[in-house]
């Protein structure tokens, strides 16, 4: 099909008289030309250019590659999140074990300090605590600070 035949097909389909050029018709009827040009551009873009472009991309394997890359990226993100989650769980478990071990050390080597912290007040030497709320939070805080302190000398005086 030649370009002349294609032009005459478009002219007859759009209602432009056979002897009139597109330019002269556009100058005389700008609104009509716009009304014809917008749907034609949409038709060309969606129904002609898109399938051709999609076919070229599909034949090149680019879409397949990009889908594989997207899946790989998703897996990498998942694996990193899971690794971080496991690391956090292990760290939390080590901290809990360290706190419990330090609480046991304080109770074993300095029962007076242990009783004072658990009572939440200073007690006379050799006092026995009967009843009252136990300050487990204070004891855990002390044990945590013992384990996370940069210098063990800070807490050596508590155990002697």
Task: Give the 3-state secondary structure of 27-46.
Answer: HHCHHHHHHHHHHHHHHHHH
Domain enclosing residue 131, as ranges: 92-159
User: What pLDDT, on a 0 to 100 scale, did the predictor assign at position 160?
Assistant: 45
Rounded CA-CA distance 21/11 in Å is 9
User: What pLDDT, on a 0 to 100 scale, did the predictor assign at position 125?
Assistant: 84
User: What pLDDT, on a 0 to 100 scale, did the predictor assign at position 113?
Assistant: 84
**59 belongs to a structural domain:** no
- DSSP-assigned letter for residue 17: -
Query: HSE (CB half, 13 Å, CA atoms) of 80?
Result: 6
User: What pLDDT, on a 0 to 100 scale, did the predictor assign at position 133?
Assistant: 79
**114 belongs to a structural domain:** yes
Q: Which residues of the chain have pLDDT under 70?
A: 1-2, 6-7, 9-22, 25-26, 29-45, 47-63, 150-160
Question: 70: phi > 0 → left, psi -120 to 50 → alpha, else beta; which?
Answer: alpha
Residue 134: how many CB atoms within 10 A of its CB?
Answer: 13
Rounded CA-CA distance 136/133 in Å is 9
The per-type count for the chain, helices as H runs and strands as E runs, is 8, 0
Q: For the chain, how many structural domains are there in total?
A: 1
Please tell me the pTM assigned to this model.
Answer: 0.47
Q: Tell me the three state secondary structure of residue 160.
A: coil
Query: 110: which 2 tokens?
Result: 């300095």
Comparing C-alpha atoms, which of 159, 129, 136 is closest to residue 146? 159
**141 belongs to a structural domain:** yes
Contact 114, 106 (CB under 8 A): yes
**8 belongs to a structural domain:** no
Comparing C-alpha atoms, which of 151, 150, 140 is closest to residue 102? 140
């Amino acid at each position: 099909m030649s370009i002349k035949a294609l032009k005459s097909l478009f002219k007859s389909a759009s209602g432009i008289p056979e002897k009139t050029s597109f330019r002269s018709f556009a100058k005389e009827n700008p609104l009509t030309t716009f009304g014809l040009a917008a749907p034609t551009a949409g038709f060309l873009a969606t129904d002609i250019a898109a399938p051709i472009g999609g076919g070229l991309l599909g034949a090149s394997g680019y879409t397949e590659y990009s889908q594989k890359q997207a899946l790989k990226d998703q897996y990498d993100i998942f694996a990193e999140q899971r690794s971080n989650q496991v690391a956090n769980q292990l760290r939390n478990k080590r901290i809990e074990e360290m706190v419990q071990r330090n609480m046991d050390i304080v109770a074993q080597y300095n029962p007076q300090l242990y009783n004072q912290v658990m009572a939440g007040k200073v007690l006379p030497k050799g006092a026995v605590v009967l009843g009252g709320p136990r300050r487990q939070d204070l004891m855990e805080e002390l044990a945590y600070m013992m384990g996370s302190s940069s210098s063990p000398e800070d807490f050596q005086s508590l155990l002697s």
